[in-house]
Amino acid sequence: MKNPIAERIADFLKNFPPFQSLAYAELFHIACEIRVFYLEKGKILFQIGDVCHDSFYIVVSGAIGLSVTSDAEETLIDKCDEGDILGLRPFFAKNNYLMTAKAREESIVYAIPLKIFQPFVTANSNVLSFLLESFASNTRNPYDQEHRGKLISENIIYKEQQADIQYFQSIHYSKEPIMASQDAIVKDIAQMMTDNIIGSVIIKNGNLPIGIVTDKDLRSKIATGHFPITTVASKIMTSPVITVPEDLSLAEAQLYMLKYNVDYLCVTEDGSDKSAIRGIISENDLVVAQANNPGVIIKEVKRAQTAKDLKRIREKLTELIASSIQKDIPLSHIMNISGEINTAISRRAIDLAILEMGSPPARFAWLSIGSQGRKEQLLLTDQDSMLVFEDVAQDKYRDVKDYFLKLARRATSTLEKVGYVPSPDGAVASNIIWCKSLTDWIKQYNTWINTPGETTDVISTIFFDYEIAFGESAIEEAITEIIYKNAKTNKLFFDYLGNDALKKPSPLGFFRQFLVEEGGENKDTFDIKSRALTPLIDAGRLLVLSQDIKGVNSTYMRFKQLAVADSRNSELFLNCAEAFLTLSEFRTVEGLKNDSNGQFINLEELSKTDKVKLKNCFIPIKEVQELIKNRFKLTYFS
């Protein structure tokens, strides 16, 4: 039976993100449950202090103003027009609204029930990413002279006197979680939860997490009669439990909970389910953190229409990175969040290109490679990327490739205007060599791995550091599968990578003096990228490939995972991880100070303490290179 109202709503939604990422049948299903609200001018949709609604909203017509109140004065900070989404707070937290939404003119809004939309969030990565960026939406406050240009958002409590970076603050959590074995009786677990006034119990094997039982499990599996109260925990637990490292930030905790659609995160020693349990983070911990720590969240990119818009956003990110370092926010947090924003900017550049050109003729994946692929791009450095499109019929191949080359040229041109200059080596998706079908990419990786160095087509190691920025994750997974399948026990490949990792120049001379540039415009400066960071990056990449450790892109986390996988060398790997962060901070500070890529350090400007700190980072570099030399039986430098 036809439903013309739902059809009109679905037709409206399909024109705006994130609904553009959904099939029409899915939109129609959502539209059938949507409520329509007419708001007269001045009518309040929700206000500061209201309990969060069971829906979020999209503006159909008119305009909705978002405002905060400080010292009894209402300040307008943003305006939502046709197609704009607001009221996303219930997705992230259950505490009350921190902004007021009021109609600035006669308006119509659609209320989209969270319960109906949630399945599409967890099933579609584009929708999830969009919601994360939208919730981080913020703007300039035109009335704040002291903090003009600072970022404020729907996720904060506004204070004139303070602009702390809530998004990067480490979150406090319970360090004494209640735990039980997989053989524990559910009735006993329920009693434990009641006695301790908690909503979850971690199920462990030894001291390793294997699952979690929550009040939701009790309601959906026990109260409904699906399982008796006398059943054991292993029958009803949610497994695997989502694990995170100890120093998780509020922003990262929010991202994990939304990404995996969970209310609890298990904290472990190294962030994996293969290390000891350290605590538990609940959704309530996030609520408390947000309520007690007013702050700011990074400028969203979803409304950007031009490269100029994206450039302004990237400039704000630079300001935020500088402020974070000054506040001694852990660099690992700054890298994680900066990486997400850089990816969002790339994604929007691709979005804008698709809007210009029309829908792609085939599925594809845009992969950021190199420093952005490792999510280590704190400064405005080169853009490196590759484009993989699905295999198509031979007679369509040329037209399909032409489309993606034009798309890539538009996107890379936008990113260049933002400030990301193309790779000097031409490693960008707009290069005909690095824009090709999945089969052609598989052939490329096969050549690199099975016959390294035999042709002029030498291995470009940055292509082994990648992160999907846009498109089909299945295509990225296919690339990963072929790399690890071919690399396994491939001595020739690891010999090549090992020698490549060892040939970087030593940071120190014979008398432990810094080796500086002998000529050119950077004469007498220290090349921290080539002499210190690159050896660690190369070592981390080589070792995770040889240990078959998948899904870990950043150098810091690679060494943290290696410390778990190889207990004999765990201290060395942890030292490498910390050295990498320290060196990255030196480079970032240098780049921010001189508006450069931070590669060359003026040693005369460093204090004696900083020079000692820098030299201490070189010890694990030398030790890990010795380990590589011995492990792969390398007797020479190539």
Pairwise CA distance, residues 232 & 357, whole Å? 56
Pairwise CA distance, residues 181 & 263, whole Å? 21
Closest Cα to residue 70, out of 12, 143, 150, 140? Answer: 143
Q: Is the pLDDT of residue 471 over 80?
A: yes
Provide the pLDDT for residue 509. Answer: 65
Give mean pLDDT, residues 581-585.
Answer: 93
pLDDT band at 169 (very low <50, low <70, confident <90, very high): low
Above pLDDT 70, what percent of the chain?
Answer: 86
C-alpha 564 chain-centroid distance = 23
Helices within 462-569 (DSSP H only): 473-487, 491-502, 528, 534-546, 555-565
Tell me the β-bridge partners of 364: 389
Rounded to whole angstroms, what are the CA distances from 168 to 115, 247, 250, 261, 334? 29, 11, 6, 21, 7
Q: Is the pLDDT of residue 302 over 50?
A: yes
DSSP state of 219: I
**Strands, sheet with 200-205, edge to edge from the N-terminal-most edge strand:** 179-181, 200-205, 208-214
Provide the pLDDT for residue 185. Answer: 94
Give mean pLDDT, residues 442-471.
Answer: 82
Predicted TM-score (pTM) of the model is 0.58
Q: Is the pLDDT of residue 156 over 70?
A: no
Whether omega for the bond prior to residue 240 falls within 30 degrees of 0, making it cis, is yes
Instruction: Read off the tokens for 308.
Output: 């100029």
Lowest mean pLDDT among 247-261, 555-569, 570-584: 247-261
Above pLDDT 90, what percent of the chain?
Answer: 44
Provide the pLDDT for residue 31. Answer: 93
Give mean pLDDT, residues 51-78.
Answer: 79
Lowest mean pLDDT among 151-155, 209-213, 277-281: 151-155
Lowest mean pLDDT among 152-156, 278-282, 343-347: 152-156
Identify whether the C-beta of residue 430 lies closer than 8 Å to the C-beta of residue 405.
Answer: yes
Provide the pLDDT for residue 4. Answer: 87
